[in-house]
């Protein structure tokens, strides 16, 4: 079913390898810095990096942003933090919040511009976690539709492609999200044990009848917002040069690019953002979040997030517009400001880089094979418009590619079983594939928000738990990790905490 798009991808990869003059899969080229160039690197975001810590560590503008740029950044910050309200409320400016929604402000998910967290058991508040919904194809026609790449996936017939767990008064909520955890013990070679928690997600109080029996659940916490403009400014050829979807080099790492629909260009382009690299740009990512999370329309996504059977949602009054503005609840100039804001949130500088344990941990990070997916560095391309992001040497520790992370990190069926590799979850990504998460700033994650957790569904409460959940293509590295002694474990975590 994915053969057509995979063939397209392979052609793009071959072109990219030619353009990038021999870049090696999961490696780099001879002109790049040596493998451990990151060991003493302080400014992970190049000249945009900021010296800051504390709860505002992810909320600063790029250090090289000029006065005019800082003003635009501040406008975007207001919009990012603003609570949107229902039409007819006392707030006559930021109105149009959908009949069904997850949150009423961007900041509600990205707390202090940082990561979200999974709810605890018996916690009805899933504010910084959402659940995507999809299903497998039922027949050849649907398989052909998916193969075109024109749609991300096939949605649940009643609830659509994302569950909304909040609603305006008088409108039924779609459902309450429920999570239960099963403990799993991981034991190191020296006998040290770590207790992991494996989540199972389900729904209660379904407002529109039973879901389709074949609906798949993909729970996802909010990502940190730092450095996104730099990631957007990496050349496509540099990313594709790291891809090796057929594992031609036989190292067990099969990094795969996602190709997704750009709704402005109306063509398939490289996916960069989101847990499955399902969005091509920060503008589309922002517009998609406004629409899916808050029921707010833009010129990119002009329709409300209601399904055909959700009549009360469809009847909800949209914002009332003057004749001289676009008929969208988030205007283009507002979307411009939010886009600029998320493009210029700065990456904090590293800490304790000269510490002996941190330096030993950096070497372990390489020796364990973590760099095979968490590619340390890129150079951003020339950008004559966003000049602060242009030609920066950055250290995000990601290859921007999809990797099979194993059955235990897979999306799930309604019964809690793992989704297989033969089902389309989001364009080219299947239920077991996730984009390599950038690691810059990860050491400040729980300083920015003490509740923040790790991995796509927030199951990992600590960095070590996150490491120990790695499977699939990372299985060989996991086995090496389990041989580490206490001192080495502390060194590895000390390095990660320095980022």
C-alpha separations of 265 from 23, 40, 281 in Å: 28, 41, 11
Run of H or E residues at 357 = helix 356-367
- CA–CA distance, 239 with 220 (Å, rounded to integer): 24
As a residue count, the chain comes to 499
pLDDT at residue number 8 = 41
- CA–CA distance, 62 with 220 (Å, rounded to integer): 27
- CA–CA distance, 187 with 193 (Å, rounded to integer): 4
Sign of the torsion formed by the C-alpha atoms of 402, 62, 20 and 262: positive
C-alpha separations of 17 from 29, 196, 304 in Å: 11, 40, 41
Residue 367 DSSP class: H
pLDDT level of residue 62 (50, 70, 90 thresholds): very high
Radius of gyration of the chain (CA): 22
Listed in order, strand segments (DSSP E) in 306-462 are 378-379, 393-394, 402-404, 412-413, 424-426, 429-430, 433-435
Residue reference for tokens 């299985």: 475
C-alpha separations of 256 from 96, 141, 315 in Å: 38, 26, 42
pLDDT level of residue 115 (50, 70, 90 thresholds): very high
pLDDT level of residue 13 (50, 70, 90 thresholds): very low
Q: Which residues contact 53 (CB under 8 A, 6 or more apart)?
A: 348, 351, 444, 447
> What is the model's pTM?
0.91
pLDDT digits (tens, 9 = 90+) for 150-198: 999 999 999 999 999 999 999 999 999 999 999 999 999 999 999 999 9
pLDDT digits (tens, 9 = 90+) for 15-35: 333 333 332 233 333 444 445
pLDDT level of residue 321 (50, 70, 90 thresholds): low
pLDDT at residue number 122 = 77
pLDDT digits (tens, 9 = 90+) for 355-395: 999 999 999 999 999 999 999 999 999 999 999 999 999 99
pLDDT at residue number 323 = 56
pLDDT level of residue 128 (50, 70, 90 thresholds): confident
- Closest CA relative to residue 345, chosen from 498, 228, 231: 228
C-alpha separations of 316 from 96, 151, 303, 399 in Å: 9, 27, 12, 42
Structure tokens belonging to residue 5: 């798009």
Q: Mean of the per-residue pLDDT values for the chain?
A: 90
pLDDT digits (tens, 9 = 90+) for 187-238: 999 999 999 999 999 999 999 999 999 999 999 999 999 999 999 999 999 9
151 CB neighbour count, 10 Å cutoff: 14
pLDDT at residue number 36 = 81
Percent of the chain's residues with pLDDT above 70: 91
- CA–CA distance, 390 with 343 (Å, rounded to integer): 12
């Amino acid at each position: 079913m994915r053969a057509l798009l995979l063939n397209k991808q392979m052609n793009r990869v071959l072109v990219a390898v030619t353009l990038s003059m021999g870049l090696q899969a999961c490696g780099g080229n001879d002109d790049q810095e040596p493998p451990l160039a990151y060991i003493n690197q302080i400014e992970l975001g190049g000249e945009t990096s900021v010296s800051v810590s504390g709860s505002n560590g992810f909320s600063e503008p790029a250090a090289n942003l000029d006065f005019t740029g800082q003003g635009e950044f501040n406008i975007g910050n207001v919009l990012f933090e603003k609570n949107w309200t229902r039409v007819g409320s006392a707030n006559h400016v930021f109105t149009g919040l959908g009949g069904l929604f997850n949150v009423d402000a961007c900041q509600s998910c990205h707390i202090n511009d940082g990561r979200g967290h999974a709810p605890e058991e018996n916690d009805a508040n899933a504010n910084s976690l959402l659940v995507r919904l999809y299903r497998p194809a039922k027949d050849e026609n649907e398989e052909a539709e998916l193969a075109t790449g024109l749609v991300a996936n096939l949605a649940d017939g009643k609830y659509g492609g994302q569950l909304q767990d909040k609603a305006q008064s008088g409108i039924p909520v779609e459902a309450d999200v429920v999570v239960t955890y099963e403990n799993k013990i991981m034991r190191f070679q020296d006998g040290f044990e770590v207790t992991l928690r494996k989540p199972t997600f389900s729904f209660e109080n379904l407002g529109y009848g039973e879901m389709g029996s074949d609906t798949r659940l993909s729970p996802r916490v909010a990502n940190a917002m730092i450095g996104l403009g730099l990631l957007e400014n990496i050349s496509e050829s540099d990313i594709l040069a790291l891809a090796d979807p057929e594992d031609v080099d036989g190292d067990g790492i099969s990094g795969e690019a996602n190709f997704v629909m750009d709704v402005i260009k109306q063509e398939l382009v490289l996916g960069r953002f989101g847990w499955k690299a399902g969005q091509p740009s920060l503008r589309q990512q922002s517009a998609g979040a406004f629409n899916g999370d808050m029921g707010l329309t833009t010129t990119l996504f002009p329709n409300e997030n209601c399904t055909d059977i959700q009549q009360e949602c469809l009847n909800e009054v949209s914002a009332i517009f003057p004749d001289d503005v676009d008929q969208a609840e988030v205007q283009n100039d507002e979307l411009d400001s939010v886009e600029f804001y998320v493009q210029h949130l700065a990456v904090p500088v590293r800490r304790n880089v000269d510490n002996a344990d941190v330096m030993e941990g950096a070497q372990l990070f390489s020796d364990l094979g973590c760099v095979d997916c968490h590619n340390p560095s890129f150079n951003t391309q020339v950008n004559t418009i966003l000049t602060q992001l242009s030609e920066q040497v950055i250290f995000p520790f990601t290859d921007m590619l999809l990797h099979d992370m194993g059955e235990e990190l897979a999306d799930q069926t309604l019964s809690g079983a793992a989704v297989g590799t033969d089902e389309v979850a989001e364009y080219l990504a299947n239920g077991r594939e996730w984009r390599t998460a950038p690691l810059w700033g990860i050491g400040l994650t729980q300083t920015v928000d003490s509740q923040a957790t790790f991995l796509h569904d927030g199951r990992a409460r600590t960095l070590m738990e996150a490491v120990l959940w790695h499977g699939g293509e990372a299985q060989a590295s996991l086995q090496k990790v389990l041989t580490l002694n206490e001192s080495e474990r502390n060194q590895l975590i000390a390095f990660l905490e320095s980022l």
